[in-house]
Amino acid sequence: MKNFLTMVRGLPFAMKVLLASTAARSLSFFAILAYMPIYLYDTVGMSGATVGYVIGGSVLVGTMASVYGGYLADRVTKINLVILLDLAIILLYLSLTVMHDPFTVTAVLLLTNIASSSMGVAGSALLSDLVPPENRTKVFSLRYSLQNIGAAVGPFLGVAAVAVGSGGPFILSVTVIGASLLPLVMFRSRFLSTGKGAPAPAAAEEQSAEEQAEEETPTFRQVLKVMGADRRLTYFTIGGILSIVVYGPLLTFMSQYLVLVEDRDTAYRLVAYISAANAVAVIGAQYALGSRLKPDNLLKWLTVGIGAFVIGLFAMSLSTNAAIIVIAVVVFSLGEVIVVPAEFTFIDSIAPEKLRGSYFGAQNLIHVGIALGPILCGFLLQHFAPAAMFYVLIAVVVVSLWFYVIGCRATATVSEPAQAKAKAQAKVKVKAVSET
């Protein structure tokens, strides 16, 4: 804890403000997420099935669109993009207090999720700009802790805000985001790039104007080709999708499982225990474990994290005793504590300076796994013995480790001659264009 507080006190002012705004957005998002099904059903008049399609579909669209959001973060000033996205989210939330037409509300939710997902990507890229490489893993872990605190507190505040009126949670979220946006605007100059990623003066002088222009303005299609050719990014994204299938929808698939093997009251009680145990474990252990991650020891820690998932899932399959379930969830949560910052650290370590936002946007695609998890578990619970769900999830997360391993090995085999060859090819292309 002492090291944690020392690190927080030593952060630059801009970083403290950015982390506080991250916590505020997390709180506002989860305050609305808990209320959204009720709002769509009671106020908008959607059916139960439609509510699921709208919420799931909007999250999926937002996740896919965040790839372009990452590209935008590389093309414009990141703090300006963050401010604009915050303003967009505020206006969209406010519109939901007066708009109740199902089609209009669906469109607003799509735009809100696109803005929210792009915000997460832009925030990650801005964080990398503001923090020296040796401290980024620690700050990623701190940010994830703050996001989980927001996730734990947000639903309770959202429920309390409903007492104010049907639009109470939206007003709460607008207020929280607006308060966190104010210092971003007031101290905007503090968030501008410090030049950490800029080339050294001597190197910059050696570059021709054509080379700099070519490097600074790749098209979205060109960026997609670069990322698609990067096996490291591909393998880690696939591994991330598979692992988040397991840890992302923990409460959902445990609810699906418990209502089949226990009576309803016991199932509800156990889900509450699981939620509390997961939140306490993630918040309590995130910095202590996450800060130990470094680019050169990621594979070792990822193996430990996947092992925690395996042990936790196996223990959950053995009994529904409350004590066993809680212990299993705590062990399971340690895997989440390790894997999430490890993925951010890896992507940050392989992303080119001028494509950092785009790489984080591609990595954000792992959230597709959150939608796949409940579908997979629902199928397994319907057609096989309930415990089979855990064994399949164990197999899925072990396969994710395999993709992490080959991703790390691909990183180790990327040779400097290969990088030099790629750079030389780019220069030839620029020269050819200039000569014509």
The tens-digit pLDDT sequence of the chain (436 residues) is: 555 566 667 777 888 888 889 889 988 988 887 788 778 888 888 876 788 788 878 888 888 898 898 888 888 888 999 999 999 999 999 999 888 889 999 999 999 999 999 998 898 888 888 888 777 777 888 888 888 888 888 878 887 888 777 788 899 999 999 999 999 998 888 887 544 433 334 334 444 444 454 455 678 888 888 888 888 999 999 999 999 999 988 887 888 888 888 887 888 788 888 888 888 888 888 777 877 888 788 889 999 999 999 999 999 999 889 999 999 999 999 999 999 888 888 888 888 888 888 898 888 889 888 878 888 888 898 889 999 999 999 999 999 999 999 988 875 444 343 444 444 444 444 444 344 4
Neighbours of 416 (CB within 10 A): 7
In degrees rounded to 5, what are phi and psi of residue 296? Answer: -90, -5
Other residues' Cβ atoms within 10 Å of the Cβ of residue 75? 17
Q: What does the pLDDT read at residue 434?
A: 44
Distance separating alpha carbons of residues 226 and 243, to the nearest angstrom? 25
What's the predicted TM-score (pTM) here?
0.78
Alpha-carbon distances, residue 393 vs 39, 106, 203, 271, 373 (angstroms): 33, 32, 49, 19, 9
Q: Cα–Cα distance between 350 and 359 in angstroms, integer? A: 9
Question: Based on the number of CB atoms within 10 Å of its own CB, is 349 exposed (0-12), middle (13-18) or buried (19 or more)?
Answer: middle
Distance CA 151, CA 357 (A): 24
Please report where in the chains the tokens 């309770």 appear, as a residue.
Answer: 156
Query: What is the pLDDT at residue 203?
Result: 39
Per-residue confidence (pLDDT) for residue 178, from 0 to 100? 93
- Helix ranges (H only) for 163-219 are 168-186, 201-206, 209-216
Cα Rg, the chain, nearest whole Å = 22
Position 385, amino acid? A
Identify the burial level of 264 via C-beta atoms within 10 angstroms of its C-beta, where 0-12 means exposed, 13-18 middle and 19 or more buried. exposed
Give kind and range of the element (H or E) at residue 19.
helix 13-38
How far apart CA 425 and CA 420 sit, in angstroms, is 9
By the 10 Å C-beta count (0-12 exposed, 13-18 middle, 19+ buried), 418 is classed as: exposed
User: What is the Cβ-side half-sphere exposure of residue 71, based on CA atoms within 13 angstroms?
Assistant: 17
Q: How many other C-beta atoms can be found within 10 angstroms of the C-beta atom of residue 402? A: 14
Q: Where are the alpha helices (DSSP H) in 96-167?
A: 102-130, 136-162
Q: Within a 10 A sphere around the Cβ of 436, how many other Cβ atoms?
A: 5
The burial class, CB within 10 Å (0-12 / 13-18 / 19+), for 257 is buried
Which 8-state DSSP code applies to residue 43? I
Measured between its terminal Cα atoms, the distance across the chain in Å is 62
Q: Give the list of residues 6+ apart from residue 42 with CB closer than 8 angstroms, or none.
A: 166
Answer whether 290's CB lies under 8 Å from 140's CB. yes
| pLDDT at 248 (0 to 100) | 86
- DSSP at 11: S
pLDDT of residue 4: 57
Distance (Å, whole) CA 44 – CA 52: 14
